[in-house]
Every structure is written in C-alpha cells, then in structure tokens.
Amino acid sequence: MSIQQSDVLYTAVATAENGRDGRVATEDGRLDVVVNPPKEMGGNGEGTNPEQLFAAGYSACFQGALGVVARQTKADISGSTVTAKVGIGKNDDGFGLIVEISAHIPNVDAATGRALLEQAHQVCPYSKATRGNISVTLV
C-alpha cells in the first residue's frame, strides 16, 4: 500500500556526484561523504559505499520497527541491537542485492525474539520497500 504525497511527514534529499566513485551529500549538509567502490569490486575502498549506507539505514529503520512491535507486545528489547548485512553481486539483470538482518535481543527467549523479528519485518518501511525485490533473511 503506497502513501499519498499529502501524507508524507518528512522527505530526505541527497545528491550524488560521480556515482559510486564520488561524493554523496544531503541537502541539509548533515551527511556529506566520499563514496568509492570497495576493494572487492575493484575500487580503492577509501570511502564508504552505497551498500554500507543502505545497511546503516536498514538497520536503524528495522531497530525502530522492532521497538514498535515490542511496545505492542510489551516485550523488553532494552539493550538490543540490529545488524544489516548488505551484499551486492551479479545476477541475470546485472547486479542485485541480498540482505541479512540479525538481532541481539538479550531480554527475550529465542522464540519470542524470532516472533518479534518477523513482526518487525512486516512493519519496517525498508522491508516493505524491498519485499519481493531482494532476498532478506532474518537471523
């Protein structure tokens, strides 16, 4: 289900120069980073890369979604962390992404943790945006 423009609460604006080997900055100046391909892809690896930026955004968003479902179920997720691993590789269309989301939730048992991850995956905007487009594994 998509949202309407009138329902938008915030819009982030970022501009890239020279693609994967240049610079990316947000309109407000809070993010301004050099991007370079990683050494594994033939680059110098000195800057960050789009996959790292995507992993950072996805992990933060997913942690937020985990908080939403934890409040709904009254689960204690204090001290929890969410890690996103974003891989890039060749596929039939050129290149594609694969994601693994893992969480450490120290105050719940394994079954509860798994249920919370599944629920967070349903409400996380990044998960919604990628659903059906890339492989996302929950750990």
Q: Average per-residue pLDDT in the chain?
A: 95
Asked whether 99 and 136 are in contact (CB, 8 A), the reply is yes
Question: Can you tell me the distance from the alpha carbon of 34 to that of 17, in angstroms, rounded to the nearest whole number?
Answer: 10
pLDDT tens track for 102-135: 999 999 999 999 999 999 999 999 999 999 999 9
Average pLDDT over residues 4-20: 94
Residues 21 and 9 in one domain: yes
Backbone torsions φ then ψ of 117, nearest 5 degrees? -60, -45
pLDDT tens track for 96-109: 999 999 999 999 99
Backbone torsions φ then ψ of 93, nearest 5 degrees? -100, 5
Average pLDDT over residues 28-42: 95
The total number of structural domains in the chain stands at: 2
pLDDT tens track for 44-55: 999 999 999 999
Residues 82 and 124 in one domain: yes
Residues 90 and 38 in one domain: no
Residues 61 and 110 in one domain: yes
Task: Note the pLDDT of residue 1.
Answer: 65
Residues 63 and 116 in one domain: yes
Task: Please give the share of the chain, as a percent, with pLDDT higher than 90.
Answer: 94
Pairwise pLDDT comparison (93 vs 78), residue with the higher score:
78
Residues 32 and 68 in one domain: no
* HEC string for 31-73: CEEEECCCHHHCCCCCCECHHHHHHHHHHHHHHHHHHHHHHHH
pLDDT band at 3 (very low <50, low <70, confident <90, very high): confident
Residues 75 and 129 in one domain: yes
Average pLDDT over residues 67-79: 97
Domain that holds residue 60: 48-136
pTM over 0.75: yes
Asked whether 82 and 64 are in contact (CB, 8 A), the reply is no
Residues 125 and 70 in one domain: yes
Task: Provide the CATH number for the domain around residue 25.
Answer: 2.20.25.10
